[in-house]
Amino acid sequence: MLTLSKVDSFYGRSQALHGVSAAARDGTIMAVLGRNGVGKTTLLRTILGLTDRSQGAIALDGEEIGGLATHARARAGIAYVPQGRMIIPDFTIRENILMGGFAAGGARRIPEIVPVLFPYLMENLDRPGGVLSGGQQQQLAIARALACEPKVLLMDEPTEGIQPNIVEQIENSIIRLNTELGLTILLVEQNVGFARRAAQDFVMLENGRSVASGPIDTLTDDTVAKHMAI
């Protein structure tokens, strides 16, 4: 279980998160919802220690990790699929995937689930990452995160900017990572329909604060309209 208690986070002197508390239960998906700029990406980055400073408690399976360096948090079992994917275009698909294993200091091999979920990647391991489509790059970013052998996967808008015919494949792979591998997932998502389908719990952010949270079936249309409608 990943728990955040009263977490504040800062970029320089500017405070981006204010007292956020949330818990992602083992083997569940927690959707992180809210409009653009409310702090969803910052929440994921704070869990990995990638903002300038944070305070409050962040615990993984009861162990406080909020004071650890980013690589130590990765080793503790947290992996990140960032917005924009951050593939290294000149590295091969294989090298991009294996980088995830280096980040966590673990086994440097391609995870067994990769050929099951993303056969195209396995068939093209020696091609450069830069030749892939947006959807394939997203698959590669997920494969790279899995090479960390994580317990918790942080995913930032994984279907953003992806061709509609690939979106469903990515969504299905996220659900399979949760149901078949039992991965705990924090999913930043603008698509409420997918959040309702995939997640068990949600947290809604507004101006860096949690304004609603709980089981996803308690997420009302009113709350969505109030905090997500443009």
Ligand X SMILES: Nc1ncnc2c1ncn2[C@@H]1O[C@H](COP(=O)(O)OP(=O)(O)OP(=O)(O)O)[C@@H](O)[C@H]1O
Binding site for ligand X (CB under 6 A): 11, 14, 16, 34, 36-42, 83
Least Å distance, CB 164 to ligand X, is: 20
Which residues are bridge partners to 17 per DSSP?
9
CB 22 within 8 A of CB 4: yes
Query: Whose Cβ is closer to ligand X: residue 110's or residue 137's?
Result: 137
Cα 69–Cα 201–Cα 20 angle in degrees, nearest 5: 45
- Give the span between the Cα atoms of 166 and 101, in whole angstroms: 26
Q: How many CB atoms lie within 10 A of CB 172?
A: 12
**AA letter at 44:** L
Query: Whose Cβ is closer to ligand X: residue 14's or residue 165's?
Result: 14
Least Å distance, CB 59 to ligand X, is: 21
Q: How many CB atoms lie within 10 A of CB 8?
A: 17
Least Å distance, CB 38 to ligand X, is: 4
CB 142 within 8 A of CB 99: no
Question: Alpha helix locations (H) across 162-209?
Answer: 164-179, 192-198
Query: Whose Cβ is closer to ligand X: residue 40's or residue 151's?
Result: 40
- Give the span between the Cα atoms of 53 and 71, in whole angstroms: 16
Least Å distance, CB 227 to ligand X, is: 11
Query: Whose Cβ is closer to ligand X: residue 16's or residue 97's?
Result: 16
Bridge-based pairing of strands 2-11 and 14-24 is antiparallel
Query: Whose Cβ is closer to ligand X: residue 189's or residue 201's?
Result: 189
Least Å distance, CB 206 to ligand X, is: 10
Query: Whose Cβ is closer to ligand X: residue 11's or residue 26's?
Result: 11
Least Å distance, CB 8 to ligand X, is: 12
